[in-house]
Amino acid sequence: MSLTILAVDDSRTIRDMLSLTLKQAGFTTHLADDGVHGIEVLEGLSPPPDVIITDINMPRMDGFGFIEAVRNIEKYRTIPILVLTTESGADLKQRARYAGATGWIVKPFEPKKLIRALQMVTG
C-alpha cells in the first residue's frame, strides 16, 4: 500500500512528526499549516491525495471550515478526511462528522494507530 497524504496542522512539531511517521511507512506526504494553505496545496495536487489528515484548532481557517470547504468541491466530496485532535470527546467527533469528516486520530498519535486509521479509510 503506497498512499499520498495531505497533512494540515499549524504546529510545526506535529507536521514534522506526521511527516516522519508517514515517510517511514512508505507514504508520500504533502504538508500545509492551516486550512487556507491546505486548500491551496490540495488544489495543486494531481492526482488528489488518497487521504487528508487535518488538525482542528488552526489560524485563518480551522479544521471544521477546512473540511467543509473540501467537501464543497465536487471532486473531493468523498475523499477520506481524518481529524487529528487532542480532544477525543463526543462533541468534537460530532462536530467533525457534521462537517464531513471520515474518522479521527487522537493526539499524541501512536504511529501504529495512525497507520491503522489510514487502513480503515483506504483498505
Partner 1 sequence: MSDDDPMIEIRASFFVECEELLESLQDGLQTMDDGAADDETINVVFRAVHSIKGGAGAFGLDNLVRFAHQFESVLDGVRSGNITADRNAISTFFQSGDILADLVRAARDDTESDTERTQSILKSLETILGHDSNEVVEEEIDDFQPMSLVMDLGLDVGGESDLVLSELPPPHMPVFEDGYTINFIPDSSLYVSGNEPLHLLRLLREMGQLEVICDTSSIPALSEIDVEKSYLSWTIHLTTDEDQEAVREVFDFVADLCHLTISGPGSSASPPPPRHLYPPYQP
State which of residues 5, 14, 32, 41 lies at the interface with partner 1 (CB under 8 A). Answer: 14
Check residue 99 for interaction with partner 1 (CB under 8 A): yes
C-alpha of 80 from chain center: 8
Within 10 angstroms of residue 27's Cβ, the number of other Cβ atoms is: 21
State which of residues 6, 8, 25, 48 lies at the interface with partner 1 (CB under 8 A). Answer: 25
Check residue 28 for interaction with partner 1 (CB under 8 A): no
- Nearer to partner 1 (CB atom), residue 5 or residue 99: 99
Check residue 72 for interaction with partner 1 (CB under 8 A): yes
Question: At which residue does the C-alpha cell 469528516 appear?
Answer: 101
Check residue 57 for interaction with partner 1 (CB under 8 A): yes
Instruction: Specify the long-range contacts of residues 106-111, CB closer than 8 Å, at least 24 apart.
Output: 107/14, 109/17, 109/21, 109/84, 111/21, 111/24, 111/25
State which of residues 5, 6, 17, 39 lies at the interface with partner 1 (CB under 8 A). Answer: 17
